[in-house]
Chains A and B, each alone.
Chain A
């Protein structure tokens, strides 16, 4: 009599960071998205100025203090996001919960702050070229931050589920890379749209 016993299947060939590479491709697309937005912004500003028009509102009318706090909150979230990666790589689950939670709170603070700043602008999109560009670019950036937050929410649930550990942190690294991209894009947007246009130094 011959008995045939099946052993477990051998492992598939190791994939080369599928999630991370996919995220990097999305980030590359995101970089050109913001490159396109800011190039269009400066192109429109040049055209307006050369035509003798005024571009941004006069100095002092932008809510500079609120804008600085809002974008600072976003900037800080980069550190807490990285803290989450470090905690998971060190198998420190409790620290990871805190880091993910604080990062999400800072993201929510940014959304809240930006909506407050929009309310303080008193500019009408469509009627004013500067306003159209500012609302369009900052809204696109807001979408990116919301997407990053959704990734972190998924990551948070999976951390609670115990799915990640030091040797299985690709999703965490990918989500964090996207978060960093959202922060860097935010800094670029703040610098170009707010600081150069009517910030404290102008």
Chain B
């Protein structure tokens, strides 16, 4: 009698022990601790909140076209202004990027699951609940200077909840990247996107608790009868302005560094330099110290403002070098990624001008233009590039190239049209931030152009949502495991990946581009 002894593969064992298949249906989604499902939930929820933020943004834009108030009141205008910023950052962009990272990082490092999967699920649900509470607080007149004290308290608690949720989600992703890499994969060998998440996530871990500290003090002060108005809002407003917003754009740089070499069909030259550039971009985004107006005169603030232009410029040079030396295929993801880096460079250039004392641009709508270039432009386009690039893994389909190109054109052009009028108004007309009265008809006309830009960005968002809805319903070209000829581990598994991520053991990894090495061998 012949006897064969077989040993099940480690990954198969992980499928039963570490990453059990979720229950089917709604209960499965509600109770999931699978990082892939959590990542998809993050993306879907962030896009829902985008709808809220977009509507508020357009209301503000329409209000700025006329002199005085047509739709909102003076009080609600101020609250809508802060609400728009909070939604854009804490309810939309940060969770969107965190969701993409939650999905992609374990796959890129060859791990069968995410570290602390229940922690990651808790982070997601805390985000949903806190986001709902934030909207409820504003609806109940609870923003800064709000008329309902209990709702104002709720607003501060909701922001604190969102901060804690983000930190918890980041700890899961960072621990995965630091401790659960495939055998042989050094930290310096992780893919560019994972590295950008490590940099951006670590630095957010260093700065977001400072926001939490400020929220705790504001909460105690207000809860026991002290004031909390727009002047006090400066204590937390730094999170939504320069230089802190550069941190949100760090993963976008990582996405571009993933896409360009693959689309060009060549390994990225000067990989070490690209890692350093991502690190520098993160360092200039450390903005927790710039909380009070006196810090805007500091040498450090000016130096960082001017230095911020260097990392995006160097990044653009590296990417252009890759494109020049390769044979780039015209893909939507490439357009989106390059658009993201270009707008990041534009945002940094605008920021560099804003710290020059003699120009007197601080406190004007010039700053709003810069934030729009960095967030609506660089970060949002970077997230779209990631979604188009990793859609085969996210949804098992290849998203429409035409829809991607349309999303690029509307978002890229829309962001420029949205920001350019504010640049002119800030430079030539000295229009202050949160201005509600515009004496000059020229300023009002520019505001109208800006509103059209916002509309274009919204149109791009509609295209994205429709594309993702179709992908969620699995309508589209079914994706093979590696439709792009990718270089990194996530392309070695099926699209979408199985519950345990890899159906076979991941062999030891000895370079940053393991799949390319396999082809070369």
How far is the CB of B165 from the nearest CB of chain A, in Å? 13
A-B contact count (CB 8 A): 147
**B175 and A132 form a contact (CB under 8 A):** no
| Cβ-defined contact, B226 with A132, below 8 A | yes
The answer to the question of A22 belonging to the interface, with a C-beta cut-off of 8 Å to chain B, is yes
Neighbouring B residues of A21 by C-beta, 8 Å: 175, 178-179
B13 at the binding interface (Cβ < 8 Å): yes
Chain A 11-44 interface residues, beta-carbon cutoff 8 Å to B: 11-13, 15-18, 21-22, 25-26, 28-30, 32-37, 39-40, 43
With A124-B224, A135-B220: A13-B182 Cβ-Cβ less than 8 Å: yes
Is the CB–CB distance between B222 and A126 below 8 Å?
yes
Contacts of A124 in B (CB 8 A): 224-225
Q: Which of B216-234 contact A (CB under 8 A)?
A: 216-217, 219-226
Of the candidates A3, A11, A127, the one whose C-beta lies within 8 Å of that of B10 is A11
Which of A9, A33, A132 is within 8 Å of B220, CB to CB?
A132
Which residues of B, 1-30, contact A by the 8 Å Cβ criterion?
A: 1-10, 12-14, 18
CB of A25 within 8 A of CB of B10, answer no
Stretch at the interface among B201-209, B303-311, B360-368, B383-391: B201-209
Query: Knowing A9-B8, A32-B206, A125-B220 touch, does A25 contact B175 (C-beta < 8 A)?
Result: yes
A10: Cβ under 8 A from any B Cβ = yes
Whether B6 and A35, one on each chain, are in contact in the complex, defined by CB atoms closer than 8 angstroms, is no
Q: Is the pair A132, B221 in contact by a Cβ cutoff of 8 Å?
A: yes
Determine the interface band of chain B, counting residues with CB < 8 A from chain A: 35 or more
Distance of A125 Cα from B228 Cα, bound (Å): 14
Find out whether the CB atom of B224 lies under 8 angstroms from the CB atom of A40: no
Any chain A CB within 8 A of the CB of B171? yes
Give Cα distance in the complex from A7 to B10, angstroms: 12
Tell whether A139 is near chain B: CB-to-CB under 8 Å: yes
State whether B5 touches A18 (Cβ < 8 A): no
* Total residues of chain A contacting the partner, CB 8 A: 44
For B18, the closest partner residue in chain A by CB is A12
Residue pair B217, A18 in contact (C-beta under 8 Å): no
What residue in chain B is nearest A35 (Cβ atoms)? B210
Tell whether, in the assembled complex, residue A7 and residue B171 are in contact, meaning their CB atoms are under 8 Å apart: no
Q: Which residue of B175, B210, B224, B292 contacts A126 across the interface (Cβ within 8 Å)? A: B224
Query: Closest B-chain residue to A14, C-beta based?
Result: B183
Residues of A within 8 A of B275 (CB): none
Q: What does the 1/0 interface line of A120-155 toward B look like (CB < 8 Å)?
A: 000011110000110111011000000000000000
Given contacts A5-B3, A36-B213, contact A22 B116 (CB under 8 A): yes
The answer to whether B180 has its CB under 8 Å from any CB of chain A is yes
Contacts of B41 in A (CB 8 A): none
Q: Which of B13, B115, B210, B224 makes the CB contact (< 8 A) with A18?
A: B115
Give Cα distance in the complex from A2 to B119, angstroms. 46
Q: Does B481 sit at the interface, judged by CB under 8 A?
A: no
Say whether A1 faces chain B, with CB atoms less than 8 Å apart. yes
A2 nearest CB across to chain B (Å) = 5
A196 to B175 alpha-carbon distance, docked (Å): 38
Q: Do A9 and B179 touch across chains, with their CB atoms under 8 A apart?
A: no
The answer on a CB contact under 8 Å between B8 and A6 is yes
B212 closest partner in A (C-beta):
A33
Select B175's contact among A3, A18, A43, beta carbons within 8 Å: A18
Q: List 9 A-B contacts (CB under 8 A).
A: A5-B6, A9-B13, A12-B13, A13-B183, A21-B175, A32-B206, A36-B209, A43-B292, A139-B220
15 more contacts with CB within 8 A, not counting A37-B216, A37-B217, A135-B220, are: A2-B1, A6-B7, A7-B8, A9-B13, A12-B18, A21-B175, A25-B170, A33-B213, A43-B292, A125-B221, A125-B223, A125-B224, A133-B217, A136-B220, A139-B220
